[in-house]
Structure 1
Amino acid sequence: MTSPFPFTAIVGQDDMKLAMILTAIDPGIGGVLVFGDRGTGKSTAVRALAALLPPIEVVEGCPVNSARHADCPDWANVSSDRIVTRPTPVIDLPLGATEDRVVGALDIERALTRGEKAFEPGLLARANRGYLYIDEANLLEDHIVDLLLDVAQSGENVVEREGLSIRHAARFVLVGSGNPEEGELRPQLLDRFGLSVDVKSPTDIDERIEVIRRRDAFERDTDAFMATWAPQDAALRDRIVAARAAIGRVESSDATLRDCAGLCLALGSDGLRGELTLLRTARALAAFEDAGAITRDHLRRVSAMALSHRLRRDPLDEAGSATRVARIVDDVLA
């Protein structure tokens, strides 16, 4: 199996990489939506980050990656108490996936004839405590979108057929990517992504050459390339682990809360999810930079990724959503 490309070796795309790092520090932020050109490293970055993260501890044989035997669902019939380590899972959700493949399938005949809960776990079970990656998320079928909305809200997958009910934990970082020219994302699903970033193909020739140089070196001698970048990946892993431990100690003042509310009011974002996401994202950034409290600089740097996809459309404003956010940030946090 080919090793994922090192995360720290990805050239440019700083906003995308930062957004993914922040969701790794605090998965409660709610995932990342990446819109942009094909071939800009979106799927590469997801797999690279997951490979960089520390392995997770799971009960051997548990189909939902539970950390304790008590958390394994009863239908799994897991007898082992042995704890093993696994890489952080990254599960792809194909556009043509059926409902049974996503949520899992119940064997109704076996359940009725033998009285057993026979359940074949789906993609949501495998993604628990990891990443669920949707390429071309804007082309996802509506009924699959509805399923994801329910699970993203509750953190639990429930499958009900013929009076039988199966449930299991399904908490994952949702990462979606797509090309806006091929269709827009449903507003209900768009709002479930904590962060949103736009990526573009590099226009600087030296940057494009560096992309080619590193990818070619990776493909020609993968082991040597991985060894070269291993120290940088290890250093980033240590920073993420330290930030996870420190995030609970990062202070947020009343002034910070007022800034969050003021920004969202000025932008006209619906509901309160914008403020909460902005606060969590700024706190994760502060923890990542070993700061004891959230500052206005932290809010400025994450405001576009936390709020740009929550704006109401303004047909009279031709500026992009990130530009509109930056404009409001300059006014409110002047």
Structure 2
Amino acid sequence: MNKIKNQTRPVFPFTAIIGQEEMKLALVLNMIDPKIGGVMIMGDRGTGKSTTIRAIADLLPEIEIVSDDVFNSHPYDYDLMSDLVKQQIESKVNLKTQLIKVPMVDLPLGATEDRLCGTIDIEKALNEGVKSFEPGLLAKANRGILYVDEVNLLDDHLVDILLDSAASGWNTVEREGISIRHPARFVLVGSGNPEEGELRPQLLDRFGMHAEIRTVKDPLLRVQIVEQRAKFDHDPYSCIDEFCDQQNELKESIIIAQKKLVSVIIDYDLKVKISQICGVLNVDGLRGDIVTNRAAKAFAAYQNKDEVEIDDIKKVITLCLRHRLRKDPLDTIDSGTKVNKIVHEILSE
């Protein structure tokens, strides 16, 4: 209990969130396999989008980083460490490490490109001959979660940079012939309200998953949600304590699934069926096929299975494909009925 009270700011427990199963599943699967490519959460105002995203970050196990490294470099994985750390390893320097909570970085709507990517101090480079880099939000988000609320209102140019870094796992800053590159492997989570406009189809397609959330209509469930929130606001620590066992159980499931993921297999016939569905739905490119395969394996690992089954595909495929059907920016996103119809026809054969 004392350990909990040491937190600077209590976070609403993920397992205490009622409803919104689609959003919760999409977030959990991205934590199991960050290569799914993030999640776009669209829904009404006041449906707990931000609360849920902060809750999943708080739930995750701590990560080991090289002490005092601004990029949260991994002490052993070359893909997740900065050039400086690599040089230290090659020079046989004994690195100190520490455990930190998974970084959760908010990107404010008014952020500039420099704030996002970081800046190079040209004066220092010219006068002293040293590369001086002021890290941006992409550096802080390495190995964590980058959350963009109202992503549909963000400048398209910044969304492009975000998606490029999320896909490649690297951020490169170039200025006056000086170039600095650092790891930026993060789960990109965007949220927004459809009333304020959709993202362009080209940008939307680059989010791995698309979760839709609606305001709960059932009065009994609404009362339950209101009471749960009131209880947390009144005494957050006893609420955190109440859900402690469930939180630990879910955390353990995610850790086991992360380890199990590499050994999960998906039958060739099922891969063909996934691609057949993408073809019938006229999904452009192969991102839909790749993400569905990844998500199905992550869901199977989460269920502690060794092999993907048809039900695993049915559970995730709508989340992976519904936002890839828009060809015209003026179209609305399919809620899933079109995907479900084709999935049912093909997977029932």
Mapped to 1, the partners of 2:102 and 2:272 lie a distance apart of: 37
Q: Does 1:30 align with 2:41?
A: no
Task: Give the counterpart of 1:52 among 59, 64, 80.
Answer: 59
Residues 196-211 of structure 1: pairs in structure 2 closer than 5 A = 196-211=210-225
* CA offset digits 1:147-190 (Å, max 9, x no partner): 12331232110000111111100010000000111111022321
Say whether the 8 Å CA contact 2:172–2:180 is kept in structure 1: yes
Say whether the 8 Å CA contact 2:12–2:232 is kept in structure 1: yes
Task: Give the counterpart of 1:4 among 11, 27, 36.
Answer: 11
Say whether the 8 Å CA contact 1:152–1:192 is kept in structure 2: no
Mapped to 2, the partners of 1:127 and 1:5 lie a distance apart of: 21
Task: Give the counterpart of 1:302 among 284, 302, 316.
Answer: 316
* CA offset digits 1:109-161 (Å, max 9, x no partner): 11111111111100000000000000001111122122123312321100001
In structure 2, give the amino acid aligned to 1:4.
V
Local SS of the residue matching 2:243: helix
Mapped to 2, the partners of 1:81 and 1:131 lie a distance apart of: 25
Mapped to 2, the partners of 1:318 and 1:131 lie a distance apart of: 28
Q: Does 1:177 align with 2:187?
A: no
Normalised TM-score (structure 1): 0.95
Normalised TM-score (structure 2): 0.91
User: What is the match of residue 74 of structure 1?
Assistant: 84
User: What is the match of residue 25 of structure 2?
Assistant: 18
User: What is the match of residue 128 of structure 2?
Assistant: 114
Task: Give the counterpart of 2:263 among 249, 253, 256.
Answer: 249
In structure 2, give the amino acid aligned to 1:216.
A
* Percent identity between the two aligned chains: 48
Say whether the 8 Å CA contact 1:59–1:80 is kept in structure 2: no
Q: CA deviation at 1:105?
A: 1.0
1:172–1:333 distance in 2 versus 1, CA, 3 Å: same
User: What is the match of residue 159 of structure 2?
Assistant: 145
* CA offset digits 1:194-237 (Å, max 9, x no partner): 11010011001111111111111111111111000010000000
1:314–1:183 distance in 2 versus 1, CA, 3 Å: closer
Say whether the 8 Å CA contact 2:322–2:333 is kept in structure 1: no
Q: Which moved more, 1:90-99 or 1:246-255?
A: 246-255
Q: Structure 2: any 5+ residue segments left out of the alignment?
A: 1-7
Q: CA deviation at 1:80?
A: 7.4
Say whether the 8 Å CA contact 1:62–1:76 is kept in structure 2: no
In structure 2, give the amino acid aligned to 1:200.
R
* CA offset digits 1:213-263 (Å, max 9, x no partner): 111111111111100001000000000111111112212111111111111
* CA offset digits 1:269-310 (Å, max 9, x no partner): 011111111011011111111112111111111111010001
Local SS of the residue matching 1:97: coil
Mapped to 2, the partners of 1:318 and 1:55 lie a distance apart of: 39
Q: CA deviation at 1:314?
A: 8.2
Mapped to 2, the partners of 1:14 and 1:21 lie a distance apart of: 10
Q: CA deviation at 1:76?
A: 11
Mapped to 2, the partners of 1:321 and 1:200 lie a distance apart of: 11
1:319–1:193 distance in 2 versus 1, CA, 3 Å: closer
Mapped to 2, the partners of 1:332 and 1:42 lie a distance apart of: 33
Give the root-mean-square deviation of aligned CA atoms.
2.0
Mapped to 2, the partners of 1:19 and 1:147 lie a distance apart of: 23
Residues 250-269 of structure 1: pairs in structure 2 closer than 5 A = 250-269=264-283
Task: Give the counterpart of 1:237 among 239, 246, 251.
Answer: 251
Mapped to 2, the partners of 1:296 and 1:91 lie a distance apart of: 36
In structure 1, give the amino acid aligned to 2:285.
G
Say whether the 8 Å CA contact 1:106–1:161 is kept in structure 2: yes
In structure 1, give the amino acid aligned to 2:21.
D
Mapped to 2, the partners of 1:47 and 1:97 lie a distance apart of: 20
Mapped to 2, the partners of 1:170 and 1:143 lie a distance apart of: 18
Say whether the 8 Å CA contact 1:23–1:29 is kept in structure 2: yes
User: What is the match of residue 124 of structure 1?
Assistant: 138
Q: CA deviation at 1:321?
A: 3.8
1:129–1:21 distance in 2 versus 1, CA, 3 Å: same
| Count of aligned residue pairs for this structure pair | 333
Q: Which moved more, 1:248-257 or 1:221-230?
A: 248-257
Mapped to 1, the partners of 2:332 and 2:254 lie a distance apart of: 38
Local SS of the residue matching 1:158: strand
Q: Structure 1: any 5+ residue segments left out of the alignment?
A: none
Say whether the 8 Å CA contact 2:125–2:131 is kept in structure 1: yes
* CA offset digits 1:36-83 (Å, max 9, x no partner): 011111111111111111000001110010012873333999887211
Q: CA deviation at 1:2?
A: 1.7
Mapped to 1, the partners of 2:214 and 2:326 lie a distance apart of: 23
Local SS of the residue matching 2:172: strand
